[in-house]
Amino acid sequence: MIGRLNHVAIAVPDIAKAAAMYRDTLGADVSEKVPQPDHGVSTVFINLPNTKIELLEPLGEGSPIAKFLERNGDGGVHHICYEVDDILAARDKLTADGARVLGSGEPKIGAHGKPVLFLHPKDFCGTLVELEQA
Ligand code: CO
């Protein structure tokens, strides 16, 4: 069911510093910072030949990554995103198998303008999983 690894998201306390490290130290292709107020984060995308890294910094009150950064002061891997051909079919199969979908269970439009869902980390080896419609 799952296809390509779309991205690995890393939550960071200082996205400018993290972006500079990826650009200058690791020599990566780094995008501009984009505020995503609907998602409570700012993002920077690191474009790698085979996938992307998504840097996330909290934006505004009640950011969904604020608690994660309280526990992980230096930042850390926050979620991984797999592509699926049909996000509703994927959701229905997963919930039938007992997996928990976060929130209302209805896909939202994610940072790339495509429908996404998040799956409970306790059901997936301690890893928050994002599914994105390919
Ligand atoms: Co993501």
For range 31-41, the mean pLDDT: 93
What CATH topology corresponds to 2-133? 2,3-Dihydroxybiphenyl 1,2-Dioxygenase; domain 1 (3.10.180)
The alpha carbon of 9 and the centre of ligand 1 are apart by a number of angstroms equal to 6
For range 94-100, the mean pLDDT: 97
Map tokens 């700012």 to a residue. 42
Q: What's the predicted TM-score (pTM) here? A: 0.93
What are the catalytic residues? 130
Q: Where are the domains of the chain?
A: 2-133
Residue of 88, 98, 85 whose CA lies nearest to 124: 98
Distance CA 59, CA 73 (A): 16
The alpha carbon of 127 and the centre of ligand 1 are apart by a number of angstroms equal to 12
The alpha carbon of 97 and the centre of ligand 1 are apart by a number of angstroms equal to 23
Distance CA 18, CA 69 (A): 14
For range 57-80, the mean pLDDT: 96
Q: Name the strand (E) or helix (H) holding 91.
A: helix 87-96
